[in-house]
Amino acid sequence: MKTTVVHCKKDEYDVSIARPSMYGNPFKIGPDGTRTDVCDKHMEWLENPEEVIIEVNGVKYSNEAVRENVHKLKGLRIACWCAPKRCHGNNLVKLLELQTKKQFVELD
């Protein structure tokens, strides 16, 4: 089953990826830019090989922790407020797919 991004109030889901969950996007629409800006910043943050911790409203978000735990979302319906609009959840799905492909390459 493929990991899918759904709306947390309109659809059934397995795991919330909204703030304050560890998977929440530390970049907010408004103060940090447009929807496109914050989704792009989120992907850049995930791809940064160094651990970067961002604190939002007293909650610390670690890109390293997300990378280490994203495999737990495999095959689940992950929920945020954005879906079906562009969402950081799409970045999590992409990261999960990249990690899965990397595992297959390492097995060869």
Task: Kindly give, in sequence order, each residue whose CB lies less than 8 Å from that of residue 10, ignoring residues fewer than 6 positions away.
Answer: none
Q: pLDDT over 90 for what percent of the chain?
A: 91
What residue spans define the domains of the chain?
A: 4-107
pTM: 0.92
CA distances to 33, 71, 96, 107 from 68, rounded to whole Å, are: 27, 7, 10, 19
Beta carbons of 3 and 73 less than 8 angstroms apart: yes
Q: For 54-94, write each residue's pLDDT tens digit.
A: 999 999 999 999 999 999 999 999 999 999 999 999 999 99
